[in-house]
Amino acid sequence: MTQVSPHPFHDLAIQFVGELFKCTRDAPTEEAHREALQAFCNALLPWVDPSEVPHPPHALCTLVKEYHIDQQGIAWIILTQEGLALFRAWLRSRGGDSTLCSS
């Protein structure tokens, strides 16, 4: 059963990670996987705020620090700094409010 989070950005984060996984799921090789991930990251670069990450994010960095589904079926995602910067860029690319996930 799908749970709706009380925090709007949690559901958006699930969508972001879903798109991230979707872009790489059919990659037949590790190289193709890296290229698809790099293309996903490159597409978001126009929306990356340089103040959110010390260097331009790239596909070779780890974007997801931790991911698991608890006993209630709720997915928990902890993004790295680069992953969070790309998530905020993804929100901006869709006209979303990237301040929803500000700390």
Query: pLDDT (tens digit, 9 = 90+) per residue, 45-96?
Result: 888 888 877 665 554 557 777 777 778 877 677 888 888 888 888 988 988 7
C-alpha pair distances (Å), 48 with each of 17, 24, 45, 92, 95: 17, 21, 5, 8, 13
Question: Domain ranges in the chain?
Answer: 8-96
Sorting pLDDT into bands at 50, 70 and 90, what band is 4? very low
Choose the weakest-confidence range: 17-21, 26-30, 55-59. 55-59
- Alpha carbons 2 and 31: distance in angstroms, whole number: 33
